[in-house]
Structure 1
Amino acid sequence: MNARRWLLGAATHLLALGAGFALGVYLLPILIAPQAPSAQAVRSEAAAARYSGTFRRDLKDSDALHWGEGKVSVTPASVILDGELAPGPDYKLYLSPEYLETEADFHRLKPAMVRVGDVKTFNNFVVPLPPGVDPARYTTVVVWCETFGQFITAAKYR
């Protein structure tokens, strides 16, 4: 009987530890995220946009925990989101030469993509383009979670 009680106690403690860890992975990026740009700042930056597209929740590999929605604007100097992303760790922004909406497509196209930078906010963002990156050479903005290899969202902008 004591062994059974001990195993039950160990199992419940491990379950609680796992749930706490998972909750921490989800909440930590929210807690440490910097202040998101205001709607006015986003619209001001987006005024110089040459291209625009839309993040939608209904993409093939988007789900309840991995999604984005809102208007994406691409200027010669930055990529801007007036919208929202599901919170998560280690989001990276890429430009792709082809539209994609699955993890398999991301892996297939990654050699042809350019990594723009980190996405650190989940309500609106402005991510500067690295020097020498011409957005006219690409068609799609992609948000990808590097740590967990998860497709978050994509928007075709031209």
Structure 2
Amino acid sequence: MSPRSVITGALDFARRHIILALTMKFSAGLVIGFGLGVYFLPIIIAEAPADETIIIAQAETAERQAVFVKDRAGSDPLHWGEGTLFLSDSRVTLEGKVSPGPDYRLYLAPEFVETGDGFRAIKSQSVEVARIKGFENFSYEIPQNIDINAYGAVVIWCERFGQYITSGRLENRG
């Protein structure tokens, strides 16, 4: 074996390994970038919080309310909610926050649950009220054909990933 063929073999070996290492780094960067995009995009495009006067007006006129707390059994450090949700025949308003994420939906549920499995079991009996586009102090109109008194709880659910976020028992305000 000539010295030239040894050098050529060594260069081919090094070239292949450099290309493989660069391809792996590029692929890892794409995966990490995609993951960060899924997390940060909803934050970047989130609606601004509802005006404080809307929150106060809804709090004064709401017929029902629910409380969200961070330590629900199905919540975790990345999926949580806290605050008070006010419900009337025409609007649902949260004075508080939910963790940011994609494709959140607000459901009225027939009974209180605090896990993803619990909600999956009653999801077909629940009704979607709103697509959540902001993560702090939001207010949305409720479709007119929904009887808010027919439901005992409210659930925030990530539709895209089938992930429980938070829930609260609906109580009448007196």
- The TM-score, its normalising length taken from structure 1, stands at 0.94
Q: Tell me how far 1:102 sits from its aligned partner.
A: 1.0
Structure 2 residue aligned with 1:16: 29
Structure 2: runs of 5 or more not aligned:
1-13
Q: Is residue 58–residue 93 contact of structure 2 (8 Å, CA) maintained in 1?
A: yes
State the Cα RMSD in Å: 1.3
CA–CA distance in structure 1, aligned partners of residues 106 and 89 of structure 2:
15
1:126 alignment partner AA: S
Q: Tell me how far 1:84 sits from its aligned partner.
A: 0.4
1:149 matches 2:162 = yes
Select the structure that is richer in helix. Answer: 2
CA–CA distance in structure 2, aligned partners of residues 34 and 125 of structure 1:
8
Q: Is residue 80–residue 127 contact of structure 1 (8 Å, CA) maintained in 2?
A: yes
CA–CA distance in structure 2, aligned partners of residues 128 and 105 of structure 1:
26
Structure 1: runs of 5 or more not aligned:
none
For residue 123 of structure 1, give the secondary structure of its aligned residue in structure 2: coil
Partner of residue 104 from structure 1, selected from 98, 117, 127: 117
For residue 124 of structure 1, give the secondary structure of its aligned residue in structure 2: coil
Structure 1 residue aligned with 2:48: 35
CA offsets 1:107-151 (integer angstroms, 9 cap, x no match): 110111011121111011112111121111101111111111111
Q: Tell me how far 1:29 sits from its aligned partner.
A: 1.2
Structure 1 residue aligned with 2:66: 53
4+ long deviations beyond 4 Å: none
For residue 53 of structure 2, give the secondary structure of its aligned residue in structure 1: helix
Structure 2 residue aligned with 1:136: 149
1:5 matches 2:25 = no
CA–CA distance in structure 1, aligned partners of residues 77 and 19 of structure 2:
36
Residue identity over aligned pairs, in percent, reads 39
2:99 alignment partner AA: A
- The TM-score, its normalising length taken from structure 2, stands at 0.85
